[in-house]
Amino acid sequence: MTQPRPAADYRAHLAEIARRTTAALEKSGYDSLILQAGEPPGWFRDDQTYPYRPHADFRLWLPLLDAPGSLLQFTPGRRPRLIFFVARDFWYQPASLPDSDWPAEFDVVTVHSRAEARAALQGPLQRTAWIGDALPELIAWGIGAINPEHLLRRLDYARAIKTPYEIECLRTANRIAASGHAAARAKFLAGGSEFDIHQAFCDACGQREQELPYNAIVAINEAAAVLHYQVLRRTPPTRARSLLLDAGASFAGYGSDITRTATAGDGADDRDFAAMVAALDRAQQALCAQVRPGADWRDIHASAVRAIAAVLVEAGVLRCSVEESLTNGAARLFFPHGIGHMLGLQVHDVGGFMADEEGATIARPALDPALRLTRVLQPGFVVTMEPGLYFIDALLEPARAADVARAIDWQRVAALQPYGGIRIEDNLAVTAQGCENLTRGIHHE
């Protein structure tokens, strides 16, 4: 995969991560930190492994994606030490450092075994914290603490604010995914199956499936009602009505998370559904314009429920007012997830509920148990904006027998259910005044 370009802002990124980590270590009472890259987990009673990706805490420091067995040690005031594991192996290709500028920022020690890795660690380790898998050796190594919560919380809290380097990586991950989405849409309109569309996405991004930041959701027709639909049907439908594609690309360890809903056909129901997609797209853009420092994400979510309700009322799916649909539960039957989440090294990035670095949390609103972010936005946060509406049997069936049934036009539901649902998702970086839409290249001030 491509390596990150910006040497200058990578250096500034590394300095900022070192600064944050120094402060977190001091407050938590540790002298040094070891970050484990991790190792690919094995299949049960087999010699195969699951796809490998380095732990996010390790990836924060360096864009090294082929690093099983490696460690990074950071001691404040010293250059970070990369203990780079190179297997002596003729069955698999051993890892190698990429030809890039960033390795020069590290004190690199190459090792071939865990014992050599232990020998390469600096200093007494009783005041050293380890972040990674609890390897059996760690006790004998004399490591001070394994994944200490109070340190993890401080690091997670700080990670919400992305450096300019990270935002550039996310911008690139968006650009790569945009070409994937265009190719996927073309494949859908040409009559491709979910499987074909997925292949087209990977091809256009130049990424194999295991490199993608998350399993792409490729949902034709009614399957779009399954929020994290994971099947890739090999045969195209007899009649293609809609495609919900939720797919991102990776760059230097960062991932984009983008959803588009495409329509096909020009019958009356097709046109009605396409009009709902267009209405939700407009609503999504209006919601993006609300993203700015000081905005409380819980308020943006409440505003999203209202905007989605308005689309449903306009489309004749709801037979009550927008206000009523918020209190009688009708709106949330069609929009059961949160309006967005933090994005970065992880698709659902850490720190979404944190009130402070000590670990106090901000609760989700009682009516919105699926919300993944409850914080007040600050410059540097990167979030997704992903309103959706879906015709989900598991939610609608029980509603038929409840009071809320009167607020729903069930004939409209029956006509639209074969289309599954709609989601439109962009990635936004909060700026000093507003936000930058990394997916569409639009700035809101």
The distance of closest approach from Cβ of residue 257 to ligand GLY in the complex, given in angstroms and rounded to an integer, is 5
Q: Does 246 interact with ligand GLY (rule: CB under 6 A)? A: yes
Q: Which pairs with CB-CB distance under 8 Å and at least 24 residues apart come from 341-344?
A: 341/372, 341/373, 341/383, 341/384, 342/160, 342/372, 342/373, 342/381, 342/382, 342/383, 343/170, 343/255, 343/256, 343/257, 343/382, 343/383, 343/384, 343/427, 344/159, 344/162, 344/166, 344/170, 344/254, 344/382
**386 lines the binding site for ligand GLY (CB under 6 A):** yes
Question: Is the CB of 81 or the CB of 364 nearer to ligand GLY?
Answer: 364
Beta carbon nearer to ligand GLY, 151 or 308: 308
350: buried, middle or exposed (CB in 10 Å: 19+, 13-18, 0-12)? buried
Site mask for ligand GLY (CB under 6 A), range 417-436, x = bound? --------x-----------
289-328 binders of ligand GLY (CB under 6 A) = none
H/E stretch holding 9 reads helix 7-28
When CB distances to ligand GLY are compared, the closest residue is: 246
195 versus 214: smaller Cβ distance to ligand GLY: 214
Element (DSSP H or E) covering residue 155: helix 149-159
Q: Which amino acid is at 290?
A: Q
Give one DSSP letter per residue of 84-149, joined into a string. EE----SSSPPP---SSSGGGGSEEEEESSHHHHHHHS-S--TTEEEES---THHHHHT-SEES-H
Give the nearer residue to Mn ion in terms of CB position, either 156 or 425: 425
CB of 248 to ligand GLY, least distance (A): 7
Residue with smaller CB distance to ligand GLY, 287 or 318: 287
Closest to ligand GLY by CB, 143 vs 212, is 212
- Among 194, 196, 257, 349, which residue interacts with ligand GLY (rule: CB under 6 A)? 257
CA distances from 261 to 220, 237, 241, 246, 386 (A): 10, 16, 11, 9, 12
User: How many other CB atoms are there within 10 angstroms of residue 2's CB atom?
Assistant: 13
Give the footprint of Mn ion on this chain (CB under 5 A). 246, 257, 259, 384, 425
Residue 376 binds: one of ligand GLY, Mn ion, none (C-beta under 5 to 8 A by kind): none
Return the number of the residue (279 or 343) whose C-beta is nearest Mn ion: 343
Q: Quick count: other Cβ atoms within 10 Å of Cβ 402?
A: 12
Choose the one of ligand GLY, Mn ion, none that binds residue 52, judging by a C-beta under 5 to 8 angstroms depending on kind. Answer: none
- The least CB distance from residue 58 to Mn ion, in Å, is 23
Nearer to ligand GLY, 132 or 421 (CB): 421
Of the pair 81, 260, the CB lying nearest ligand GLY is at 260
Partner interacting with residue 214 (select from ligand GLY, Mn ion, none; CB below 5-8 Å by kind): ligand GLY
The site partner of 21 among ligand GLY, Mn ion, none (C-beta below 5 to 8 Å per kind) is none
Q: How far is the CB of 246 from Mn ion (least distance, A)?
A: 4
Give the contacts of 427 (CB within 8 A, at least 6 positions apart): 170, 174, 256, 257, 258, 343, 382, 383, 384, 385, 437, 438, 439
* Contact by Cβ (8 Å): 332, 306: no
Residue 66 CB, shortest distance to ligand GLY, in Å, is 25
Q: Minimum distance between the CB of residue 385 and ligand GLY, rounded to whole angstroms?
A: 10
> Is 39 one of the binding residues for ligand GLY (CB under 6 A)?
no
Choose which of 185, 214, 285, 336 interacts with ligand GLY (CB under 6 A): 214
Q: Which of residues 336-365 bind ligand GLY (CB under 6 A)?
A: 347
Strands 382-385 and 81-85, by their bridges, are unpaired
Q: What Rg do the C-alpha atoms of the chain give, in angstroms?
A: 24
Binding site for ligand GLY (CB under 6 A): 214, 246, 257, 347, 386, 425
